[in-house]
Amino acid sequence: MTMLKAIFFFTMTALLLSCQHTNSQTKKTSSQKVGGPCEGCEAIYESKIPFEALNEVDTLPFFGKKGAKLVISGTVFEADGKTPAPDVVLYIYHTDPSGRYYMTGNETGWGKRHGALRGWVKTNTKGEYKFYTLRPASYPNDGPPAHIHVTIKEPGKNEYWIDDFHFDDDPVLKAHPGSFQNRGGNGVLTLKKKDDTYYGQRNIYLGMNIPGYPARDVIQSGLKVGENCPAFDPFHLSGADINSKACPMCKYGYGQGLMVWFNHDNLDGMKRFTQVLEREMKSRGEKKLRVFLVYMNPTYKTSTEREEALLKEKIKKWCTDQALQKVAVVWVPSPVDEETSSAYKINPKVDNTIFVYKKRKVAAKWVNMNYSDDSAKKLLDVLGG
């Protein structure tokens, strides 16, 4: 009997120790180390719900009780920018409406620093996530803009941080735009208010601007941030230089603007995106903003000169139908042309490569961005007023 009790005791002890070390084992089995230093990122393992039991939605404490309600949702994509990423855990935490990390007095672990307003979600099979919380405020006494911290844990890699969630209507952000790294993509949200709730969307791109992320996993396209934009001579199908081969950088590189290099024929899918940019050019003026949509002729391998001429006329008609007076839709020979696309290091396998340029240098870059109103606004936010 004594021997049976001893066996039972040691068996239960082993099981308990195994359960207690589940999260630490998760950390140790991450095969790839990415993201660089990350103070407090281990807090992601403090979820009271095991990772495998998390779902794509979480409601943080005190939702709707102490301030403005906020709902944030989006999709997490794999490094190719297109494939939804399932089973990615997001840990979020932030200040309360007074700008302080609210404490209940029962916090443990990293909760003693991160406060009570924190939560965990895990993307579903479509890569989707959503959380309900209070809208945070900036720190008291001239602190940084209001923000929500976020840590990522994807399968097979260690935990790492991405750019905080910020809000484009935040007066502190407008006064002090700061310098964002666009880790995981742009984190500045355009909020929409309905009744007493703010809604925002952010898509997250795994590996984007994350140090140490395997290059083979990240889709590469375009010049690097900080590189000079070369001269090139596209044919203009709309805008101020229509029917000419004016060089965008030679003529307008002294200022700032956007270049959208796209390698597909779905212009109708770009309508609203383009119209937002057209309105903004009219509002700001051409000296403060230039927009170039660079069509790379994806059918170049099979098209004849006659077919290309007809296609140019078709795109011109599309520009006329969209009433484009300011946005320049321009034509280059192919997605692998040495003097145009290749000079900008465009990957011919991606749908689009988008540059923000300032004084001829690349200030920011996106690959395979969707053509939504919010995407256009995010690009314009990077440019500032």
The string of pLDDT tens digits covering residues 364-381 is: 888 888 888 878 888 888
pLDDT for position 132: 98
pLDDT for position 10: 43
Distances (CA, A) of 80 to 83, 85, 88, 215: 7, 10, 15, 11
CB contact set of 130 (below 8 Å; sequence gap of 6+): 56, 57, 58, 71, 72, 73, 74, 121
Euclidean distance between CA atoms 1 and 150, whole angstroms: 53
What's the chain's average pLDDT?
88
| Largest CA-CA distance found in the chain, in angstroms, rounded | 96
In the chain, what are the domains?
28-215 (2.60.130.10), 220-383 (3.40.30.10)
Residue 309 vs residue 26, higher pLDDT: 309
Instruction: Summarize the confidence of residues 151-157 as an average pLDDT.
Output: 96
Given a cut of 80, whether residue 385 has pLDDT beyond it is: no
Instruction: Summarize the confidence of residues 330-346 as an average pLDDT.
Output: 96
What pTM was estimated for this model as a whole?
Answer: 0.62
Instruction: Summarize the confidence of residues 333-361 as an average pLDDT.
Output: 94
Q: What is the dihedral of CA 220, 224, 228, 234, to 10 degrees?
A: 20
Distances (CA, A) of 2 to 5, 10, 37: 5, 12, 51
Instruction: Summarize the confidence of residues 131-159 as an average pLDDT.
Output: 94
Q: Of 42-51, 203-212, 339-348, which range is least confident?
A: 203-212
Residue 17 vs residue 256, higher pLDDT: 256
Q: Residue 316 — pLDDT band, cuts 50, 70, 90?
A: very high
- Give the 3-state secondary structure of residue 337: coil
Given a cut of 80, whether residue 353 has pLDDT beyond it is: yes
Residues 325 and 278 sit within 8 Å (Cβ to Cβ): yes
Residue whose token pair is 């395979």: 368
